[in-house]
Amino acid sequence: MKLENSKGTKDFGPEEKILRNEVVGRLVKVFERYGYSPLETPIIERYELLSAKSGAGEESDAMKEVFTLTDQGNRKLGLKFEQTLSFARFIGMNPTLNMPFKRYEIGPVFRDGPIKLGRYRQFWQCDVDVVGCKEMSIDSEILLLALDAFKELGLDAFLEVNNRKLLKGIIEFAGIKDELADSVIISIDKLKKFGKDEVRKELEQKGIDDDKIAKLLSAFDISGSFEEKIRMLKDIIKNDIGKQGIAEIEEVFSYFSDEQKKNIIFNVALARGLGYYTGTIFEGFARKSEVTSSICGGGRYDNMITGLLENKKEFPCVGISFGLDVITDVFKAEKKDFEKKTVTKVFIVPIKTMKQCFSICKDLRDAGISADMDFMARGISKNLSYVNAMKIPYAIIVGEQELQQNKVKLRNMKTGNEEILSVNDAVERTNKND
């Protein structure tokens, strides 16, 4: 049998998994700083939830890429392609939750789609969402959370922001029927990737007249500062939904400083392909990176939970998802030197002192230090070569001479400095340099 991964999936060795854990840890630090608490939902959902009208939308690329399966009760199921629908189901099933409810969820999702750098068929999303708040200030908070996440990760990245109501206003301005709006938005979402000519062809195939397509696409030529773009949009959009979208995006941007606006850019052509968005939408990208996929994305989806429950109770929601795989691909593309090849902080080298080192190793672990030791009776040079290759910060060398003094030899692998210390002092020294 030829051993290979399923297409679009990959293994992560210790070095890369340590990096991924580091990214997740830094994101969680930011999420919790903003008051979001953890949640976990299953990776398998009923297909009827994934395909719900209030969800992604039947024409979205995501629905075409769902992995489906059937259980022994002949129920149709699917692997979740994002975290949002599972979050919406959880809210709908727990009506007594105090609002607003803020949560984060981190885990794998699945899409049977095309593969490229930053895009796989099993990938991890790191989501934050809040339900129960209509105010645009929470949209602004989500965007500032994203900027703080970029900073925490050391990423040179920016956000593009738009509003779905504004897009629908542009579609109405172009004279396109409202029932085609969601389908047109899916086409607009392809502008950045495929360009105007391809989008024009797709819109023609949907039966839209050339003059209406030209009018639609002309709106996306708007450029300039945020204020200049808003002024030009107000000149052409006179319908109610478009004016509401403009007012919402103005309010969102009113919470940002001039410095923050350098990394939060108003993009009139930003669409996002999922059908459930109702207001603010946004995506994040790394600057000057060969990874062109978005590193995060999200928006406001006020109708999803109401639609799932089929009642009139309001559940305003907004959230953002960070792509763990894309972010780590950005780091690797930048060829950053990732220091950690192992979680081990201290490696013990016994010189015919195996049992005593076994005990010292336990002492280090009891003190909260990640410790390992040589169980193979190798020589000092081989052990130090191993420690150096694995980028382990410290080695402790223990021979009969050190034991007679009730001490150990601590070697700093970065500086090469060696000290004769008691085990307690060695613990203190390595902990001090965390």
pLDDT of residue 56: 63
Residue 336: the pLDDT is 63
Residues 6+ apart with CB under 8 A from 203: 184, 187, 213, 216
Task: Name residue 81's amino acid.
Answer: F
Q: Provide the 10 A C-beta neighbour count for residue 357.
A: 22
pLDDT (tens, 9 = 90+) of the chain, 434 residues, equals: 999 999 999 999 998 899 999 999 999 999 999 999 999 999 999 999 998 876 666 666 677 899 999 999 999 999 999 999 999 999 999 989 999 999 999 999 999 988 877 678 999 999 999 999 999 999 999 999 999 999 999 999 999 999 999 999 999 998 988 888 888 888 888 888 888 888 888 888 888 888 988 889 888 888 999 999 999 999 999 999 999 999 999 999 999 999 999 999 999 999 987 788 999 999 999 998 888 889 999 999 999 999 888 888 889 999 999 999 999 989 888 766 566 789 999 999 999 999 999 999 999 999 999 999 999 999 999 999 999 999 999 999 999 998 899 999 999 999 999 999 998 999 888 887 65
Residue 411 CB partners (closer than 8 Å, separation 6+): 384, 394, 395, 396, 397, 417, 418
Strand, coil or helix: 205: helix
Distance CA 210, CA 207 (A): 9
Domains for the chain: give ranges and CATH numbers: 14-333 (3.30.930.10), 346-432 (3.40.50.800)
Q: Are 383 and 374 in contact (CB under 8 A)?
A: yes
In the sheet that holds 296-300, the strands lie side by side as 37-38, 101-110, 122-131, 317-323, 296-300, 280-286, 157-163, 264-266
Residues 6+ apart with CB under 8 A from 253: 140, 161, 226, 261, 264, 266
* Pairing between β-strand 76-79 and β-strand 101-110 as defined by DSSP bridges: unpaired
Question: Residue 261 corresponds to which tokens in the numbers above?
Answer: 């606006």
Question: Which segments within 171-269 are labelled E, that is strand?
Answer: 264-266
Residue 194 C-beta-side C-alpha neighbours within 13 Å: 11
Structure letter (DSSP) for residue 68: E
DSSP 258-310: HHHHTSEEE-TT---S-TT--SEEEEEEETT-S--S-SEEEEE-TTHHHHHHT
pTM, rounded to two decimals: 0.87
